[in-house]
Amino acid sequence: MSVTQQIITIAMVVLATMLTRFLPFIVFPSGKPTPKYIQYLGKVLPAAVFGLLVVYCLKNVDVMTGSHGLPELISIAVVTGLHLWKRNMLISIAGGTVCYMLLVQFVF
Amino acid sequence: MGVKTKALKAAFPHTIPIMTGFLFLGASYGIYMNVSGFEFWYPMITSMLIFAGSVEFVTVNLLLGAFNPLQAFLLALMINARHIFYGISMLDKYRGTGLKKFYLIYGMCDESFSVNYTADIPEDVDRGWFMFFVNLLNQIYWVAGATIGGILGGIITFNTNGIEFVMTAMFVVIFLEQWLKEKNHISSILGLVISTVCLILFGADQFIIPSMAAMLIILTLLRKVLDKGDVKPCQ
């Protein structure tokens, strides 16, 4: 691939990414009232999307082979437990990550 | 204290987990590009301009393959389609942020969206600048990581096996925060269940679009049940 072709390829990826980010703001400009249906989606979608993002992070975990997803399961339990106990974002995330690193490096 | 300084100070703690994740993930992206034969300014420029993690890794393969701009466009569109949902959710929150709005949309990656949507921004902190700095700091971490990785390449070896879990842990916490704030959990549960079912049915590379479609359809069908003001958007 020539440098020009590389630039075009990267430009295409940038263009597509920006399209997905700007599209809702172009279709529903802030000057006009947003349709009620879209407002409704804006309220209910985030919760579902956060669920999607959790699953997305775990998409390559194979429960059939290897460690069967146990390090992930245990560490997520630790994150959840810590968060319900202390409700401190940094403690929950650090605790879960350290737990995961110990598990994958020394146990599994 | 100026408006911007105050917003920066309020924003920074929210980005600490992302700093950890992005420096390491960014570095692994830079290393990947380096060992694939690219100079460090490739990961530097692509991480700055594209600023969407997963699609940047895919871009490396695109650059190594035959020239096919349409394929590059469509692939990036599919991988990043979830951003459309972020935009719909942020229509109101980005209102009245002036020129910053352009950058807020430009830099709306998974992590920036999640933090900006769920963060409890103190009353006396400017919302627009808070969200701006969350975006900016995240992008700085990512580009710095990618550039460092691109420069050092395969030279660095360290036992950081498992550090990537920091992003998973962060999304679990964000999911929990949303769970603790919302009055009913239908949408949260739907998100987990639909994504898991689609992951099993369509596989890791193809499940995002079917998941999004299923969420749209089911949430639309449930509108009468859910749209009673019960679903409080968290502030």
- pLDDT value at residue A63: 87
DSSP letters spanning chain B: --HHHHHHHHHHHHHHHHHHHHHHHHHHHHHHHHHTT--THHHHHHHHHT--HHHHHHHHHHHHS---HHHHHHHHHHHTTTHHHHHHHHTTTTTT-TTHHHHHHHT--HHHHHHHHH----TTS-HHHHHHHHHHHHHHHHHHHHHHHHHHGGG-----TTTTHHHHHHHHHHHHHHHHH-S--HHHHHHHHHHHHHHHHH-TTT-HHHHHHHHHHHHHHTHHHHTTTTSPPP-
Q: Taking CB atoms and an 8 Å limit, are A20 and B84 in contact across chains?
A: yes
Size of interface A-B (CB pairs under 8 A): 267
The tens digit of pLDDT for each residue in A12-65 reads 999 999 999 999 999 999 888 888 998 898 889 889 988 998 998 898 898 888
CA-based radius of gyration for chain B? 19
Nearest CA in chain B to A105: B161
- pLDDT value at residue B231: 45
Q: Taking CB atoms and an 8 Å limit, are A24 and B84 in contact across chains?
A: yes
Contact of B50 with B59, CB cutoff 8 Å: yes
- pLDDT value at residue A34: 85
> Going by C-beta distance under 8 Å and a sequence separation of 6 or more, which residues neighbour residue A68?
A62
- pLDDT value at residue B1: 77
- pLDDT value at residue B234: 46
> Going by C-beta distance under 8 Å and a sequence separation of 6 or more, which residues neighbour residue B119?
B14, B130, B134
- pLDDT value at residue B157: 63
For residue A91, pLDDT over 50 is answered with yes
For residue B230, pLDDT over 60 is answered with no
Lowest mean pLDDT among A76-80, B55-59, B96-100: B55-59
Mean pLDDT of B180-201: 94
Say if A43 is an interface residue toward chain B (CB within 8 Å): yes
Say if A42 is an interface residue toward chain B (CB within 8 Å): yes
Q: Which residues numbered 45-74 in B keep a CB inside 8 Å of some CB on A?
A: 45-46, 49-52, 55, 59, 62-64, 66-67, 69-70, 72-74
Chain B residues lying within 8 Å of A10, measured CB to CB: 45-46, 49-50, 59, 63
Query: Which among A23, A50, A76, A104 is the top mutation candidate for probing chain B, defined by the most B β-carbons within 10 Å of its own β-carbon?
Result: A50
Q: Which helix (H) or strand (E) holds A54?
A: helix A36-57
CA distance A80 to A91: 11
Say if A96 is an interface residue toward chain B (CB within 8 Å): yes
- pLDDT value at residue B165: 87
For residue B232, pLDDT over 70 is answered with no
- pLDDT value at residue B229: 56
Q: Taking CB atoms and an 8 Å limit, are A30 and B162 in contact across chains?
A: no
Q: Taking CB atoms and an 8 Å limit, are A8 and B20 in contact across chains?
A: no
Lowest mean pLDDT among A76-80, B23-27, B157-161, B187-191: B157-161
Q: Taking CB atoms and an 8 Å limit, are B87 and A89 in contact across chains?
A: no
**Domain ranges for chain B:** 3-163, 182-235
Mean pLDDT of B115-143: 95
- Measured in angstroms, the CA of B70 and the nearest CA of chain A are apart by 8
Q: What Å distances lie between residue B183 and A38, A69, B170, B179, CA to CA?
A: 20, 31, 22, 8
For residue B4, pLDDT over 90 is answered with yes
CA distance A105 to B59: 30
For residue B176, pLDDT over 80 is answered with yes
Q: Which residues numbered 127-156 in B keep a CB inside 8 Å of some CB on A?
A: none
For residue B156, pLDDT over 80 is answered with no
Closest by Cα among B181, B168, B179, B176 to B232: B181
CA distance B185 to B211: 18
For residue B11, pLDDT over 70 is answered with yes
Percentage of residues of chain B with pLDDT beyond 90: 57
- pLDDT value at residue A108: 84
Amino acid identity of residue B115, one-letter, is V
